[in-house]
């Protein structure tokens, strides 16, 4: 299927975070005709180092908040699309303090939608499989675009709210929007608060990994580069008003992922601690990405989880300067939560 929209000048919100910065690198490396403006508030999760090495003529950086309507009035004109990654993204933080999640994820999305409506530009909304709640471990079904919304955490309920705003603005005002709901990402530049980087950097610093509860919860892992290629495919070929689920058939339970990490890092597979479980912890996520694959012809390329994980371990081992600054404060926060 050919591209129906060829973006020349896009805004990427949250482009200094984990998945947003990987997307910016992907666009710069693969689509020379597209200029990127990153709009990012540089919260604890944003890091300009994630964008190092990008040529000046390919990217501008705007330090600002998506909730700032006046700022959006200044920067949106002249762009032909917004790809919206910016969010408060961590479930555990949302349980400790939900307020920033409502502000950024709900109000921030509202502000962007109003700007999209005013300046009549294309909009792609990045969301998560967590809006669908969870599945039983033995449920033969996976999430599809038809699965009813049933979010369980403060984080996922604010992401679900933002999806609903996009759907309403599309139907009522006719904005040109698409939505994608992706499964758990892994790869370089992921904050050390998240499961995989937390355990890798624990091992690198001589701390035992921490597994919530029994560790039987299942996540459906996808390499962040495959997420980027899927988003580009939807932005350029997707049907307006549609939702596409993104996943790469990567279901694994947490204890198995942790044992693989330990083995790849030369540690005994039982060298970890069980800690307090997450309140309301979703049991299992699983994505059926048939629609994206058959309608738009997208395919993941990182299909060997172990080799993707090995490359990710190597990246954290080679870049201690990137994560050492945030590691101690993150672990202190977890220690206070008993995790």
Q: Which residues are catalytic?
A: 129-130, 155
Instruction: Figure out which of the listed residues 5, 31, 35, 42 binds ligand NAD, where binding follows CB under 6 A.
Output: 42
Instruction: Figure out which of the listed residues 91, 147, 157, 161 binds ligand TDX, where binding follows CB under 6 A.
Output: 91
* Site membership for ligand TDX, residue 212 (CB under 6 A): yes
Distance of CA 203 to the CA centre of its chain: 24
Instruction: Figure out which of the listed residues 5, 9, 31, 43 binds ligand NAD, where binding follows CB under 6 A.
Output: 43
* Site membership for ligand NAD, residue 65 (CB under 6 A): yes
In the bound state with ligand TDX, the residue whose beta carbon lies nearer, of 90 and 310, is: 90
What is d(CA 65, CA 258) in angstroms, rounded to the nearest whole number? 36
3-state secondary structure of 78: coil
The least CB distance from residue 333 to ligand TDX, in Å, is 11
Q: Which does 91 bind (CB under 5 to 8 A by kind): ligand NAD, ligand TDX, none?
A: ligand TDX
Give residues 303-322 in contact with ligand NAD (rule: CB under 6 A).
none
Q: Which stretch binds ligand TDX (CB under 6 A): 26-34, 48-56, 88-96, 230-238?
A: 88-96
What is d(CA 72, CA 82) in angstroms, rounded to the nearest whole number? 11
Look at strands 185-186 and 222-223 and give their pairing: parallel
For the stretch 276-279, contacts whose Cβ atoms lie closer than 8 Å and that sit 24 or more positions apart, written own/partner, are: 276/212, 276/213, 276/337, 276/338, 276/339, 277/212, 277/213, 278/91, 278/92, 278/95, 278/212, 278/213, 278/339, 279/95
Instruction: Figure out which of the listed residues 27, 126, 135, 175 binds ligand NAD, where binding follows CB under 6 A.
Output: 126
What's 274's DSSP letter?
A: E
What is the x/- site pattern for ligand TDX, positions 242-271, by CB under 6 A?
A: ------------x-----------------
129: its two tokens: 């499989």
In the bound state with ligand NAD, the residue whose beta carbon lies nearer, of 104 and 147, is: 104
What is d(CA 247, CA 226) in angstroms, rounded to the nearest whole number? 9
Element (H, E) at 182: strand 177-182
Element (H, E) at 266: none
Instruction: Figure out which of the listed residues 21, 128, 158, 233 binds ligand TDX, where binding follows CB under 6 A.
Output: 128
Under 8 Å between Cβ of 38 and 15:
yes
Instruction: Figure out which of the listed residues 116, 211, 222, 245 binds ligand TDX, where binding follows CB under 6 A.
Output: 211
* Site membership for ligand NAD, residue 132 (CB under 6 A): no
Q: Which residues in this chain contact ligand TDX in the complex, by CB under 6 A?
A: 89-91, 128, 130, 184, 194-195, 198, 210-212, 217, 219, 254, 278
């Amino acid at each position: 299927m050919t591209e129906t929209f060829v973006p020349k000048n896009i805004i990427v919100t949250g482009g200094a975070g984990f998945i947003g910065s990987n997307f910016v690198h992907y666009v710069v490396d693969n689509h020379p005709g597209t200029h990127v403006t990153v709009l990012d508030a540089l919260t604890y999760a944003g890091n300009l180092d994630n964008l190092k090495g990008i040529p000046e003529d390919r990217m501008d950086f705007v330090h600002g908040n998506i909730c700032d309507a006046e700022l959006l009035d200044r920067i949106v004109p002249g762009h032909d699309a917004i790809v919206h990654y910016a969010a408060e993204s961590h479930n555990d933080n949302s349980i400790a303090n939900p307020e920033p999640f409502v502000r950024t994820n709900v109000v921030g999305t509202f502000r962007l939608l109003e700007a999209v409506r005013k300046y009549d530009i294309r909009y792609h909304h990045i969301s998560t499989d967590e809006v669908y709640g969870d599945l039983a471990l033995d449920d033969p079904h996976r999430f599809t675009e038809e699965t009813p919304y049933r979010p369980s955490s403060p984080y996922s309920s604010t992401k679900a709210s933002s999806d609903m705003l996009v759907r309403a603005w599309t139907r009522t005002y006719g904005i040109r929007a698409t939505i994608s709901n992706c499964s758990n990402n892994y790869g370089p530049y992921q904050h050390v608060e998240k499961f995989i980087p937390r355990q890798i950097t624990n091992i690198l610093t001589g701390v035992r990994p921490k597994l919530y509860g029994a560790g039987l919860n299942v996540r459906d892992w996808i390499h962040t580069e495959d997420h980027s290629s899927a988003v580009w495919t939807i932005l350029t070929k997707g049907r307006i008003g549609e939702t596409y689920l993104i996943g790469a058939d990567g279901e694994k339970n947490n204890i198995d992922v942790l044992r693989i990490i330990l083995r790849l890092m030369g540690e005994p597979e039982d060298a970890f601690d069980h800690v307090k479980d997450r309140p309301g912890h979703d049991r299992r996520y699983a994505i059926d990405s048939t629609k994206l694959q058959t309608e738009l012809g997208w395919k993941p390329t990182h299909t060997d989880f172990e080799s993707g994980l090995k490359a990710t371990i190597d990246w954290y081992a080679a870049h201690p300067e990137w994560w050492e600054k945030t590691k101690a404060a993150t672990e202190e926060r977890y220690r206070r939560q008993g995790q």
